[in-house]
Chain A
């Protein structure tokens, strides 16, 4: 089934959906320009703007539901951004509104949580300003009705990410991580930019509507090139191979940032881009195949990295990479996978944010310790954090009836039908997920206390635990709600299309049972290694494989050897060449003329007027010469 037409419409809340963006943007502006005067209420204003944005999103959603499914793509024109290239318009449709609800709801909860988490930080106001800025930019990304608007939001979230990773910028590691994230993302943006140029050159239009129309019309369209270029952008933003290396470093940012930006929302933008560009990808098997391969490779790589990390946030970051790999895999399959990709994106937004905030709650009680080898037995002192984390954990490993069970298994089943190799690799990934997530939970909450002497873990305040509770409720129910009866697929289909035949949910399919069995093996193995056994306080050396995983599969080493060092040499060479070569040539030319005309130096008085005079004389001589030569 094809996506529905876009109807230009500017009434009701949908017509005012720009408020969703404007409110948090206003919050950011007030907090950044207001300076210290806004210190007192900065966090409250930040929260209010995020919540207000959610209210607008919810009302727009309700209004959208009032239309017949085929009329649920509503365009809102705003103004002419670059005349001749693109206007600014919003597209409120089932796909964008799903993102808006996720961003503003989870975003609001994380804003609230941050009141407690950042309570003692002197720069809390600035933190909320950046969070508001992020929400606004992310909404631009998903609401724009064209690729230029998407790109504006895309870079905007990149900026917010840069500012928030480097929030504690006095720490050199944080500053370096922030810069790295931005630059690696720019490599992706390089691809995205050229992809956008190609779209413009092909259609003279950057709007989704124009592209869909052009694709339907057909002709000489470089769909594969566009698809691969867009994918490069998606890989940067969503930390997919080969541009994954920044995400683990990004954990230098405050934990609410990791939850919101580097787990629930921004890093999923690549999946959004692929799904939104469906008309292009569906015209090219090659690009689609590459998307699925990138997805599978990353879901395995992320999972393997997750198994070896002792830093709780980095283990979770590996997991995020891996889960986004699942979404990418589904997005590469086409209409059969879109609904699962986005459904998993939503449920992952809940359970991963839940777990990141839980990790933050643990750190909050443990003097910001992140090394899980220094945790252990925390379930007794942090009961709410433990229970909510446990729910998130069960959801991600696909424990029956919880969210991940429905959405991730949906992806695995679809992948299996699409291509058995991809399917089985996805099953394998699920097994590894069972292992590394169990390892994380056992090391943190079970076993003996391995705390530092000065650690006095305690449960976090209510302003931090309530968001955890709400997110964990989502982690329980959302999967079933979205998947059963194909509810989400039917809702989404006007925006992205759907397969002719709707999938049906089989609780006891071979794939499902195999997945469950492999997950169980992973859990048991983790219990054997980290639950029942003593966890050493210092990481053992481990095998070659462990070292491989610990060092992020040598991603950084590769970048350093292939890009950074040659880059440094190139820079040095270029600077040397510029000083000695280009400039040296000019100077020696000047010296040559100066030397051979030593007598002329006396008339070079250094006054500008004599230079000016000599120009005129010189010019006259040259013109004379011209005529002489011309007449010969």
Chain B
């Protein structure tokens, strides 16, 4: 079965279908239905994935532009699979959360939900592409629905934010396109198929230039310090749901790209640039967290926490150990759930009060305990509290990095202190203390909103205590990627018996 094409096809057909529905409410229900069908299909696909089987599974390959060797070629390994699962889990949640978000937009409600399904198809496509050119096409095309979601449905500064987001990303995309074409030409294989291109570029200097073309595009996308300044604007102006898809999934394409393309296509260059990337990552971790502490706007604060978290992910990717790589991949998934929950609950709060500013709140816990409680859980997941899945990934990244790079890992670990400060301080200022006059009559979460939050918290908890199902899929894929670099894990100083581990 062409599973991946079916997933994308259902989303695209759903997107077309939504535009035909005349009634807004029906359109929303239809969108929710489609996204749930996609989720069900994706789960049906995922259970058939065999972690220790072929590297890419559910593969399809058709010629697209035969003259140039461009294919419509898709397939997933464990890394792509979990990211596709993240995407299809988040979409129905975001749809439900965005029920009333599009009403004040410049365009119709139907368009908003249609864009969301278009975006879903592209998110699946970008992770599933096994043709580098196809990946590039999805990488760029994804910008378009997101541009409209921010530009037409966002906050007061939406135009500025949307254009900044677009131009920034296009700039990165441009560099990548150059590198893609150069890769194709220099490799001289007459194909854009990723598996055929691995190992074709032997010259280290060529690798370095091509690496930079890909890497800068990914670093902007992720975003890594110092390419991050578009993110707080975009995330603060985007409707909460769009912000979740932007930070939760779209940005992961950047870190995914580093793991998939930079490491495998340009292994020597990756090793050459490792000190630089690790430096940028560690700066991003600390810098993002410190700037987050100083924010006065909730959504900007959450965006900066993500700058810090993306530093962890990039650190894990470039540490090139099994634990760090698997941790980074898991981090991408967990961060989607965690930041998703934070953005959405903050969105519920902002919608009620009509302000994104932290100072406009206080004592919400008293009037809306469920909202406050879920916000706290989401916040605790952001500071990686054990028992929540984000802890597992952060621990793996740090322990895996520490094996090789002691000092950077130690500096990155200060993130655990800084995260406690930005989360708990925000929580205290919004939820604790005497109840502010303006929030005295805020209603607590309604049933729809509880259905939005519950699955996210359940996922954070379940994978916090039992991450094995995800790790069993991720581990072989990461080992495979690292073995093609090749990168090996350092041996312990003292070997102890296997059973004592």
Contact = CB atoms under 8 A, between A and B. Distances in A.
Interface stretch (A47-55, A373-381, A611-619): A611-619
A92 to B, nearest CB: 17
Contacts of B490: 201
B413 A623 contact: no
B496 A179 contact: no
Interface string A119-150: 00000000000000000000000000000100
B70 interface: no
Contact of B392 (A82, A169, A178, A218): A82
Nearest to B422: A571
Interface in A79-119: 79-86
A582 B229 contact: yes
Given A571-B293, A623-B181, A204 B492 contact: yes
B290 interface: yes
A213 B497 contact: yes
B294 A571 contact: yes
B398 A197 contact: yes
B229 A619 contact: no
A175 B432 contact: yes
Interface stretch (A183-191, A295-303, A340-348): A183-191
A82 B396 contact: yes
A198 interface: yes
A608 B167 contact: no
B472 A615 contact: no
B254 interface: no
A80 B468 contact: yes
B290 A175 contact: no
Given A179-B424, A209-B500, A571 B290 contact: yes
A580 to B, nearest CB: 11
B41 interface: no
B494 A626 contact: no
B178 A619 contact: yes
Nearest to B464: A152
A170 interface: yes
B380 interface: yes
B424 A182 contact: yes
Contacts of B143: 608
Interface in B111-142: 140
B492 A570 contact: no
A574 interface: yes
B493 A219 contact: yes
A169 B365 contact: yes
B174 A202 contact: no
Given A83-B475, A155-B385, A217-B494, A172 B434 contact: yes
Contact of A626 (B170, B182, B322, B420): B182
B496 A220 contact: no
Contacts of A575: 291, 294-295
A210 interface: yes
A572 interface: yes
A361 interface: no
Contacts of B323: 84-85
A83 B471 CA distance: 7
A84 B174 contact: no
Given A155-B386, A201-B493, A193 B413 contact: yes
B421 A183 contact: yes
B413 A179 contact: no
A175 B428 contact: yes
B417 interface: yes
A481 to B, nearest CB: 35
Given A183-B417, A190-B416, A193-B413, A170 B492 contact: no
B178 A82 contact: no
Interface residues of B, number: 77
A140 to B, nearest CB: 9
A244 interface: no
Interface string B249-266: 000000000000000000
A197 B401 CA distance: 9
A151 interface: yes
Interface in A179-236: 179, 182-183, 186-187, 189-190, 193-194, 196-198, 200-207, 209-210, 213-214, 217-221
Given A575-B294, A590-B167, A152 B386 contact: yes
B144 interface: yes
Contacts of A622: 174, 178
Contacts of A202: 492-494
B159 to A, nearest CB: 9
Given A85-B323, A213-B497, A172 B166 contact: no
Nearest to B326: A84
A205 B501 contact: yes
Interface string B418-443: 00110011001001111100000000
Interface string A554-584: 0000000000000000111011001000110
Interface stretch (B102-110, B196-204, B341-349, B402-410): B402-410
Contact of A190 (B322, B413, B433): B413
Given A148-B395, A166-B432, 14 more contacts: A79-B468, A83-B471, A169-B365, A169-B433, A187-B417, A194-B410, A197-B398, A201-B490, A203-B494, A204-B501, A213-B497, A221-B494, A574-B290, A574-B291
Interface of A: 32, 79-86, 148, 151-152, 154-156, 159, 162, 166, 169-172, 175-176, 178-179, 182-183, 186-187, 189-190, 193-194, 196-198, 200-207, 209-210, 213-214, 217-221, 570-572, 574-575, 578, 582-583, 586, 590, 608, 611-612, 615-616, 618-619, 622-623, 626
29 contacts: A80-B468, A81-B467, A81-B468, A83-B472, A85-B395, A151-B386, A155-B385, A156-B387, A159-B380, A166-B432, A169-B432, A172-B434, A179-B424, A190-B414, A197-B402, A200-B399, A205-B500, A206-B501, A207-B500, A209-B500, A213-B496, A571-B293, A572-B294, A582-B228, A608-B143, A611-B166, A611-B167, A616-B177, A622-B174
A-B complex: 4 closest residue pairs judged by Cβ atoms: A210-B500, A175-B432, A575-B294, A583-B229
